[in-house]
Each structure stands twice: as C-alpha cells, then as structure tokens.
Amino acid sequence: MWKKRTVGISIAALAAAMALAGCGSSGKTNASSTPAAGTSSSASVTGTITVLAAASLTGTFNQLGQMFQTAHPGTTLKFSYGGSDTLAAQITQGAPADVFAAASPATMKTVTDAGDANGTPQNFVKNQLVIAVPPGNPNKITSLKDLTDPKLKVVLCAPTVPCGAAATKAEKAAGLTVKPVSEAQDVKSALTPVELGEADAALVYRTDAKAAAGKVDAVEFPESDGAINEYPIVALKNAPNAAGAQAWVSYILSPEAQAVLIAAGFQAP
C-alpha cells in the first residue's frame, strides 16, 4: 500500500528539517555584551534601546525618551507598557529587551529569581494610590470606605498586578473589602471605564489620575500611605544593546529625569 511508506517518508523528512532548524538558534550569545556595573558612556551609546515598563510610567517614560534621544543622537527608544506581572512573565519566557522598569519589587523579583537581571535592581520612584472618580465626583466619594457601597461600580487592578497588590494592602490596613465589578490587567485599563463613565471609581496611581486630569478627578485617602509601591529598574542580562541599557538606567536615576518624574506625581525613591 502506498500510504504507509510515503507518509512515513514525509514525516521523517519533516522531522529532519525541524532538527536542523532547532540547531540554529539555541539561546542568544552576545559576544558584544559588556559586563555589569554600569558607568554611563554617553558618547558611545547608539542604536535601539528596548524598555519594558509598567503601564503607570507611560506618559513620563515617553517624555524622557524624547529627551534622551535628543541628548544622544543615533539612539532610538522603544517602549512596551503593560502590567508589570505580564512584562515579567514575558522576560522570563525570553522576550528580547534591554531594560525592565517594574511597579513593585514583587514583580521585579520574578525576573531576578529567574536570573534574567544584569546586576541589582535599583528603586527610582515611589507611587501612591488615589481614588479616581468622574469629574465633579458625582457620587461624593471621600474615603476608601465609601467604595464598599454596593451600588457603586468600582474597578480594581487584578491582585497579581502591582497596583492591585497595593490596593489589597490598603484594604487590609483599613480593615475593608472592596468588591470590584472587574479586575483590570494594568492600571490604564482600570482607569478607562471611569473615563468612559461606565464605572464610578477605580483605585489607580496618583500619576495616572494626574495624567488623565480633566477626564477624572483624584480623591486622596489616608490608607494609601500604608501601601506605597516602590518602582525598581534594572538592565537585563541578555540585552541586545547592553551599553544602551546601562545608559538608560543611569539616565532614569539622574536628577534631570527625577525632576520630570516628580512633576508627574511620583515620589522620590
């Protein structure tokens, strides 16, 4: 019967092809990577620098990226924003990136534990939660306790995302439980329903509420002091542009960048 023989040959050929392809790219070898311990060498930094950053850093990092590119002609910053837990998972699964800036030490720990960090992460800002409400605060929300009202639609970040973890901490500190209608994957997605008027409140960072000023109002609450998130940043071990990675990390820690971050509502580390 022709069937068995020919199908057998085909599968063997396919397997051989796959084996050959497999030999090709097993892990990255970066002959050109410089070892750790970053001293900035601004003169020699060129090329693309890929940065994975927490969603709450969107506005500020974009602005800082422009400034960096002006100061270092020939460089291009590429940002990928998202929930820090998602980004950490991507890194441990081999996503090619130069720098990781997380919104909590816990999510950064995922990366360092997997051995994907180049050196020790450094905290560069802190962020604090506020309650975002529609402009004019129509439901007259003044405290965390108000969010427990069952008639209100509240959106929180998922507990595995740093802002969600901070929210949980704040709730514990206040001895309350807030029941959300939805758990967002990153802080920007938590804010959107409030901006659209579909949700009555969301627990987001002060920086996000500030960035969306006009579309939302921010309500401070005392329990957020007990749940401040520290933001660590680190260059990655398999960075395609190791020099660029170090340069960016140093830049973020510099006074110039810090001024921009503080102006946006972050707190000094």
Of the candidates 63, 61, 42, 39, which has an alpha carbon nearest to the alpha carbon of residue 50?
61
C-alpha to C-alpha distances, 99 to 56, 111, 161, 169, nearest whole angstrom: 16, 11, 19, 28
Identified binder of another protein from the candidate list 36, 71, 181, 259, rule CB under 8 A: 181
Q: Which range touches another protein (CB under 8 A), out of 94-102, 115-123, 175-183, 218-226?
A: 175-183
Residues in binding contact with another protein, number by CB under 8 A: 29
Q: From the CB of 86, what's the least distance to another protein, in Å?
A: 5
Rounded CA gap, 18 and 2, in Å?
25
- Binding to another protein by residue 232, rule CB under 8 A? no
Residues 150, 222: Cα–Cα separation, whole Å: 22
In the list 2, 74, 150, 255, the residue contacting another protein (rule: CB under 8 A) is 2
Q: Which stretch binds another protein (CB under 8 A): 56-64, 124-132, 155-163, 252-260?
A: 155-163
The answer to whether the CB of 206 falls within 8 A of the CB of 263 is: no
265 is an interface residue for another protein by CB under 8 A? no
Report the SS3 class of residue 182. Answer: strand
Assess 210 for contact with another protein (CB under 8 A): no
155 binds another protein per the rule CB under 8 A = yes
DSSP-assigned letters across all residues of 221-258? -GGGGGGPEEEEEEEETT-TTHHHHHHHHHHHHSHHHH
Tokens 């660029």 found at? 244
Regarding beta strands 47-54 and 99-101, do their DSSP bridges make them parallel or antiparallel, or are they unpaired?
parallel
- Note whether 83 binds another protein by CB under 8 A: yes
Residue given tokens 């929300």 in the structure block: 141
Query: Pairing state of beta strands 154-157 and 201-205?
Result: parallel
**Residue among 26 and 32 whose Cβ is closer to another protein:** 26
How far, in Å, CA of 103 to CA of 100, rounded?
10
- Measured at the CA of 90, the angle between CA 15 and CA 181, to 5 degrees, comes to 125
Smaller CB separation from another protein, 180 or 265: 180
- Determine if 262 is a binding residue for another protein (CB under 8 A): no
Name the segment binding another protein (CB under 8 A); options: 95-103, 170-178, 195-203, 240-248.
Answer: 195-203
CB 150 → another protein: shortest distance, Å? 13
- Residue 160 makes contact with another protein by CB under 8 A: yes
Residues 102-141 binding another protein (CB under 8 A) are 110
Stretch that binds another protein, among 3-11, 56-64, 66-74, 247-255 (CB under 8 A): 3-11
Give all strands (DSSP E) within the chain, no chain letters. 47-54, 75-82, 99-101, 117-127, 129-133, 154-157, 182-184, 201-205, 217-219, 229-236
Binding region for another protein (CB under 8 A) out of 38-46, 81-89, 95-103, 253-261: 81-89
Given the rule CB under 8 A, which residues bind another protein? 2-3, 6-7, 10-11, 14, 83, 85-86, 88-89, 93, 110, 153, 155, 158, 160, 180-185, 193, 196-199
